[in-house]
Chains A and B, each alone.
Chain A
Amino acid sequence: GAGVSQTPSNKVTEKGKYVELRCDPISGHTALYWYRQSLGQGPEFLIYFQGTGAADDSGLPNDRFFAVRPEGSVSTLKIQRTERGDSAVYLCASSSGTGGNEAFFGQGTRLTVV
């Protein structure tokens, strides 16, 4: 596909459960970002990958959150023991990664923890 693809588009889960959110970036983009957006707020940085490695994971709120990008393309954001406060839209973006370049966003995964 031409754009960033995220699946699922919506996820409802029970408190305490484990979830995985998937991001398929634009082909050839080396940089991949995960953001979290709550209602009325701007996207909040979580983690950034350059290739396979997490170049900056300073935005991950705690150790329940983890992300991987094993082959430098698709990334998975993993949340353990979900809490109601994790409910938000999780946005993935990719860019050509040379710094200062436009980041293209996927449509997001709306996570609801009940």
Chain B
Amino acid sequence: RKEVEQDPGPFNVPEGATVAFNCTYSNSASQSFFWYRQDCRKEPKLLMSVYSSGNEDGRFTAQLNRASQYISLLIRDSKLSDSATYLCVVPASGTYKYIFGTGTRLKVLA
């Protein structure tokens, strides 16, 4: 099993739709998790941190399910500007090494 797994997509959704991505991780000892956003040919930028059960910021909600070892990202009322790749990041156990998933590509269509 990969350390961090994501569905690569693409997810094509109409403007205004709600879309959710999941990310599974193998290290049950991981304590902190991140969602990064990456635009084409740009560097990854932090979208949300997840330290406990979840986090919400405007239209974005991240949830953590420790029992099943996955985190999710929910985007409500999708905007064209939400089109990007969303990367799930999990620090490796006992280290500060951040492991990235392959990313999930989202395209919001007009």
Contacts and interface: CB of A to CB of B under 8 A. Distances in A.
Interface in B30-77: 31-32, 34, 42-46, 49, 51
A85 interface: no
Interface residues of B, number: 24
Contacts of A108: 43
A72 B44 CA distance: 23
A42 B96 contact: no
A44 to B, nearest CB: 8
B42 A107 contact: yes
B108 to A, nearest CB: 20
A31 B100 contact: no
Interface in A78-109: 91, 93, 95, 97, 99-100, 102-108
A47 to B, nearest CB: 9
Contacts, number: 59
B62 to A, nearest CB: 14
A41 to B, nearest CB: 6
A100 B97 contact: no
Interface in A35-91: 35, 40-45, 48, 50, 55-56, 58-59, 91
The 8 closest A-B pairs by CB, nearest first: A100-B32, A42-B100, A105-B43, A42-B102, A43-B100, A102-B46, A42-B103, A107-B43
Interface of B: 4, 6, 8, 31-32, 34, 42-46, 49, 51, 87, 91, 95-103
